Amino acid sequence: PMPPAAPIVPTLSPISPLTSTAQLARDSTTLSSLDTETLQHVDKQHRQSAITVDDLPAPCVVCFAAARTILFLPCRHSVCCVACARQLARCPVCNDEFDDVDHGNFCESYMNEADTGSNPDSQ
């Protein structure tokens, strides 16, 4: 008779727990000894230091790799990076031809124009 075939799928060894029960008990004791005000303070600090999706620059709608750094003029759409804007003749949002582009901190310049009333969108 032929010996039994070796298993094709190797057996998995047991995975050791990442955190021991004793460590969890110590952490639980430490947390329960903290007062609510301290926990709220720590939570607030953590939330303030965390980076959120809203903090990240919006990606270029053409390549989805670089940040949006171009403001098309006169339509004022801000959807592309420099490299992609160089390849376009029309705004990808409204399909209008653009006369010029603004580089740099265009969000701040847009807000300044809105404050002075020179922005047609603010009227």
Task: Tell me the fold of 70-122.
Answer: Herpes Virus-1 (3.30.40)
* The pLDDT value given to residue 30: 72
The pTM for the full model equals 0.43
Which pLDDT band, with edges at 50, 70 and 90, does 19 fall under?
Answer: low
* The pLDDT value given to residue 109: 46
Would you state the structure tokens that stand for residue 8, as one six-digit string? 């094709």
Lowest mean pLDDT segment, chosen from 34-38, 62-66, 83-87, 118-122: 118-122
Which pLDDT band, with edges at 50, 70 and 90, does 93 fall under?
Answer: very high
Checking if the pLDDT of 9 tops 80, the result is no
What's the rounded mean pLDDT across residues 91-116? 70
Which pLDDT band, with edges at 50, 70 and 90, does 5 fall under?
Answer: low
Sorted by where each begins, the domain ranges of the chain are 70-122
d(CA 89, CA 86): 8
Greatest Cα-to-Cα distance within the chain, rounded to the nearest angstrom? 95
Residues 6+ apart with CB under 8 A from 104: 69
E-strand ranges in the chain read 70-73, 100-103
| Chain position carrying tokens 């000894």 | 33
